[in-house]
Each structure stands twice: as structure tokens, then as C-alpha cells.
């Protein structure tokens, strides 16, 4: 990187701004020292993000402290220790400082405008020496010691930031992100409970039904005080999974929300699911793709919490989930379900609804008119083929082709608009399915299990799936086309499978 004389002068001016001095290297930092709020301690603060909040590809690792759209507020060392690392990047945390403390924890300060005096001078020299703006430096224990309350930087908007704020982490020695709000910062007052928007119910095997159908179905929740209700009982049968679209309001007057870290689900008086996000292993943060409904997030942008432990989910948030959250519904009485949401400050709210046992039927009333003559989808371990009813209004069988072998199957359920065929992918991987002169091609070649290492071989290509490459079972579809003698194209996999 070449820095102009103007840029050099700019850096020089910035570095002459007065800062609190770092601690003397010989000073001993008490290990029992409490953490202080890093922006305007002692004054009421507000947040724009919480630890454990669901992001697209990761858990949010700390809290986002609002700076009222101001760049340049003093950022204070939350506790004594030493600066062990800094980074500068146009992405991620941008300008960031890591402080290691005597208790083994590390505090992280992200999206900074600029560092303080001696540290800023050192970083600038390293940038010139390396000829690079992007930089990641690690320091010895006595190189940049800090005292609690030292001004280590000014707040900013660098990196992947949507507006001026301070990102603040507290991490333990094992690189687990802890919840900063559990460190009793009096600057944050929260009296607002979590807010529910919708629930979704999902059939978890081929024999299960919701309102007579197989698949995933969403229901709006209507608020009454701190409770949310689903009006009419929902017909259900078999193994059902519940999903929740919810967020935690920080303040009644704030437009910002965080995640819901604590969720219980009860069926009657029995606890069937518990989620408690007290810390996040940052090396496993991408496993958020198993906690959320990934397909819905990708297609609609909505981040639903799965209130069941799905295939590939090995997160340690579920200490008291005896059935892994799966609700088993047979014949009998209605089942009252309650979802209890709680934030870090103990504010609670709940969603209540009723499941009414209803066995599968061959005729279903609420099947809509299809936009195409035939379509298919893969859900869990089931291939769903939907075909429009012909003009004679009579259902026909489906012809299922698997590696050149044809088999016939009746519709699983139907009405006057369409017929639905459910095909168990654990038993067969169809290449294509034909119904009444129309067909769909799945090009399925293999079932690739989640988490495991897997190798696929064929005449045209080989594919290696490393350990942990997949977070859910993939029914591998491969479409091969030869454009001409020198160009071939391959369409591989399913973008809706994480």
C-alpha cells in the first residue's frame, strides 16, 4: 500500500488527539474487577443487537451498543488487561481491538473509527512496513497494557456495519462468546418481553399430517397482553415439529430487536423442548444453519427457530428436551401447546395453541389449484409430487422411474384440484415421476448424510463431501449437459439444503 503525503498528514493529525494513557506495564490488574460498560458508563444506554441473535450465516457474538449515529465517542477498556490483538479490514469488525484480562476472558471492540495514541502509531508503522491497509496483529502481554476505563479507541462505523455503533463481545478462554448482558450493566434496562409473529408446523415423516396435508404450514399469532394465540385448533397427526418466528424488543420505544435466547415448549404440563443460548462456540457458529429453518430463511428471509432438534444439529443449547422437541400425536384428546419465551432480564411471553388429533384421509378439502400441471419438492426425507386433476376429474396413478425401473403408485391424498404423491426417499431415489402425460425430473443420484464424510463417484464426475460439509441430509441431484464437444455443464445439489 502506498500512502500519500496527505494521508500521512491525516494520520498524524488523528494521532495527536488526546487519549487517556495506557496502564504502566508493572501495574497488577485485580482478577475480581467487575466489567464496566464501554460507552458512556453510568449513563443510560441502548442496544441495536444482542448476543445469540440469529444472523444469516452465524450467531451474533456480542451486543451492538448504539452511539446515536455519532462517530467518535470514547471507547473504554471494560476491564484491565492487555491488548492482545487488533485488526483492520473493510469487512467484518472493521477496526477491532481484543483485550485479554487476568480472569482469562477477552473483550472485543468492533467497528472502531480509530485506535488511541501509542497503539495507533504502532499500527500505522506496520501498515507502511507491510504495504497493506488490511492488517491483523498479535501482541505480547506487556506490550500494550491497559487499565479499566482507559480510552482505547473512538467508536465508528468501519467494516460490515450498517450504521455507527460499537460491537462488544465478552469471550472466555475457550473462544466461547458469553452474554454481556449477564454481567450486570446497569446502563441497560429492559422491561419488554419477547414478541411472537408466527409459528410454523412441519410434518417430520411421511405418515404425519397437518390439516390433512404433508409439509410445512405457517400460522399468524394474535396478541393478547403478553400472550399470543392461534385461534382455531390445528388438525394434526404423527410426528410434528414446531417453529417460531419471534424477536426480543429491547425497549418499548426502540425500533431495534434482538434474538430470543430462552425458549421452552410444553405439551400439556410436560416440557418437550428447551433452548438456552448462554454462550456460543465461535468455531461452531455456522451450525446456526441447523437451528433455523434454512429453506424458509433462504427463500423468504424469515429466521424461524426450530423448536425441535433436527438432523445434523449438535449444538449444546438443548439440555432438557426429552423428545428432542418432536410432538407425537395419535388418536385421543386435544393437546394444548405453550411456547414460553424469556429474555436475559426475565421478561416472559408465550404462544398458545391447540393440536387436535386427526388421522390421515384420502381426500383433503384445502388443496389449491396448481399453477403448473405438475411440480415437486423435497421435504425432510420425502419427495412430494403434486399433479393437477385432468378434465375428467378422475385421479390417475404416478409412474415412478428409478434407474430405468418403473413402478406405479396411487395418490396419497387428493381433491378436485390436485392429487399429491408422497414418495419415501429412504426407500427409493426416483430419477423422474410421470403423472397423466406430465413429468418431473429429479436427477437424484445419492443420499448424502449430514456431518459425515462422503464420496460420490460417476462416469462424468466425482464429488468429495468433507466431514461437516453438510448440516442436513442432501438428496443429491446432478444434471449433466454437453453444450458442444468442448463444453459440458453440471447442475449439482440443492441450494435449499445447508
C-alpha cell at 89: 479490514
Residue 187 is predicted with a pLDDT of 96
Element (H, E) at 117: helix 117-130
pLDDT at 123 over 60: yes
Residue 21 is predicted with a pLDDT of 47
Residue 391 exposed, middle or buried by CB count within 10 Å (0-12, 13-18, 19+): exposed
Confidence of residue 289 (pLDDT cuts 50, 70, 90): very high
CA distance 343 to 250: 9
Beta carbons of 354 and 334 less than 8 angstroms apart: yes
- C-alpha to C-alpha distances, 366 to 65, 203, 375, 413, nearest whole angstrom: 48, 17, 17, 11
Terminal C-alpha separation, the chain = 38
Q: Which CATH superfamily is domain 5-183 in?
A: Glucose Permease (Domain IIA) (2.70.70.10)
Contacting residues for 224 by C-beta, under 8 A, at least 6 apart: none
Does residue 268 or residue 393 have the better pLDDT? 268
Region for 373 from its dihedrals, namely left if φ exceeds 0, alpha if ψ lies in -120 to 50, beta otherwise:
alpha
Tell me the CB-side half-sphere exposure of residue 251, using CA atoms within 13 A: 14
Beta carbons of 75 and 166 less than 8 angstroms apart: yes
**Do the strands 234-249 and 348-357 form a parallel or antiparallel pair, or are they unpaired?**
parallel
Residue 22 is predicted with a pLDDT of 52
Torsion of CA 106, 287, 341, 276, to 10 degrees: -50
- Predicted confidence (pLDDT) per residue in 74-99, tens digit: 999 999 999 999 999 999 999 999 99
Query: Which pTM was predicted?
Result: 0.89
Domain positions in the chain are 5-183, 194-357, 374-442, 446-492
- Which range has the worst mean pLDDT, 33-37, 252-256, 487-491? 487-491
65 bridge partner residues? 47, 166
Give residue for cell 472466555: 172
- C-alpha to C-alpha distances, 242 to 213, 286, 325, 351, nearest whole angstrom: 15, 22, 8, 12
Residue 491 exposed, middle or buried by CB count within 10 Å (0-12, 13-18, 19+): exposed
**Helix/strand/coil (H, E, C) string of 372-413?**
CCEEEEEECCEEEEEEECCCCCCCCCEEEEECCEEEEECCCE
**Do the strands 348-357 and 432-435 form a parallel or antiparallel pair, or are they unpaired?**
unpaired
Amino acid at each position: 500500500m502506498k500512502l500519500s503525503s496527505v494521508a500521512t498528514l491525516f494520520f498524524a493529525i488523528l494521532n495527536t488527539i488526546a487519549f487517556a494513557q495506557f496502564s504502566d506495564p508493572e501495574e497488577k490488574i485485580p482478577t475480581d474487577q467487575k466489567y464496566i460498560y464501554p460507552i458512556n458508563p453510568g449513563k443510560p444506554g441502548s442496544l441495536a443487537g444482542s448476543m445469540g441473535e440469529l444472523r444469516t450465516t452465524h450467531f451474533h457474538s456480542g451486543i451492538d451498543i448504539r452511539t446515536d449515529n455519532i462517530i467518535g465517542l470514547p471507547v473504554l477498556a471494560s476491564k484491565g488487561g492487555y491488548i492482545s490483538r487488533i485488526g483492520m479490514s473493510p469487512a467484518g469488525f472493521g477496526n477491532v481491538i481484543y483485550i485479554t484480562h487476568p480472569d482469562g476472558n477477552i473483550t472485543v471492540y468492533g467497528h472502531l473509527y480509530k485506535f488511541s495514541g501509542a497503539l495507533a502509531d504502532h499500527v500505522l508503522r506496520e501498515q507502511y512496513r507491510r504495504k497493506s491497509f488490511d492488517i491483523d496483529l498479535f501482541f505480547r502481554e506487556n506490550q500494550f497494557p491497559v487499565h479499566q476505563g482507559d480510552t482505547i479507541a473512538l467508536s465508528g462505523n468501519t467494516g460490515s456495519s450498517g450504521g455507527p455503533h460499537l460491537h462488544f463481545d465478552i469471550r472466555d478462554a475457550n473462544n466461547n462468546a458469553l452474554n454481556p448482558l449477564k454481567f450486570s450493566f446497569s446502563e441497560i434496562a429492559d422491561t419488554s418481553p419477547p414478541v411472537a409473529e408466527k409459528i410454523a408446523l412441519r410434518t417430520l415423516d411421511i405418515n404425519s399430517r397437518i390439516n390433512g396435508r404433508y409439509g410445512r404450514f405457517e400460522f399468524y399469532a394474535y396478541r393478547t397482553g403478553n400472550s399470543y394465540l392461534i385461534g382455531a385448533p390445528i388438525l394434526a397427526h404423527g410426528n410434528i415439529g414446531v417453529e417460531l418466528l419471534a424477536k426480543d424488543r429491547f425497549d418499548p420505544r426502540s425500533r431495534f430487536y434482538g434474538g430470543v435466547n430462552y425458549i421452552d415448549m410444553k405439551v400439556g404440563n410436560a416440557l418437550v423442548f428447551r433452548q438456552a443460548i448462554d454462550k456460543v462456540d465461535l468455531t461452531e457458529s455456522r451450525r446456526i444453519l441447523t437451528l433455523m429453518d434454512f429453506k424458509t430463511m433462504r427463500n423468504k428471509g424469515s429466521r424461524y427457530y426450530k423448536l425441535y432438534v433436527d438432523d445434523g444439529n449438535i449444538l449444546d443449547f438443548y439440555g432438557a428436551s426429552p423428545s428432542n422437541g418432536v410432538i407425537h400425536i395419535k388418536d385421543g384428546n386435544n393437546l394444548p401447546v405453550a411456547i414460553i419465551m424469556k429474555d436475559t432480564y426475565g421478561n416472559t411471553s408465550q404462544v398458545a395453541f391447540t393440536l387436535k388429533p386427526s388421522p390421515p384421509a384420502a381426500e383433503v378439502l384445502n388443496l389449491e389449484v396448481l399453477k403448473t400441471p405438475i411440480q415437486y419438492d423435497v421435504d425432510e426425507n420425502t419427495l412430494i409430487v403434486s399433479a393437477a386433476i385432468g378434465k375428467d376429474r378422475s385421479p390417475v396413478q404416478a409412474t415412478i422411474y428409478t434407474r430405468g425401473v418403473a413402478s406405479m403408485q396411487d395418490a396419497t391424498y387428493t381433491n378436485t384440484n390436485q392429487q399429491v404423491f408422497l414418495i419415501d426417499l429412504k426407500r427409493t431415489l426416483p430419477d423422474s415421476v410421470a403423472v397423466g402425460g406430465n413429468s418431473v425430473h429429479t436427477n437424484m443420484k445419492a443420499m448424502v448424510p449430514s456431518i459425515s464424510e462422503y464420496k460420490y463417484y460417476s462416469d462424468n464426475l466425482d464429488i468429495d463431501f468433507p466431514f461437516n460439509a453438510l448440516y442436513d441430509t442432501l438428496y443429491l441431484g446432478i444434471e449433466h449437459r454437453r453444450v458442444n464437444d468442448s463444453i459440458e455443464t453440471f447442475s449439482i445439489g440443492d441450494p435449499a439444503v445447508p
